[in-house]
Amino acid sequence: MGSVLLNVLFAFHIVASVGLVLLILLHAGRGGGISGLFSGMVETFDGAGIVEKNLDRLTIILGVVFTITTITLFILL
- Write out pLDDT tens, residues 8-23: 999 999 999 999 999 9
Helices (H), the chain: 2-26, 35-39, 50-76
In terms of residue numbers, what domain contains 55?
2-76
pLDDT of the residue at 14: 97
- pLDDT tens string 24-70: 998 876 655 555 555 555 555 555 678 888 999 999 999 999 999 99
pLDDT of the residue at 51: 83
Q: Which residue has the higher pLDDT, 52 or 2?
A: 52
What is the C-alpha separation between 52 and 48, in angstroms, rounded? 6
| 74 CA to centre of own chain | 21
Q: Number of structural domains, the chain? A: 1
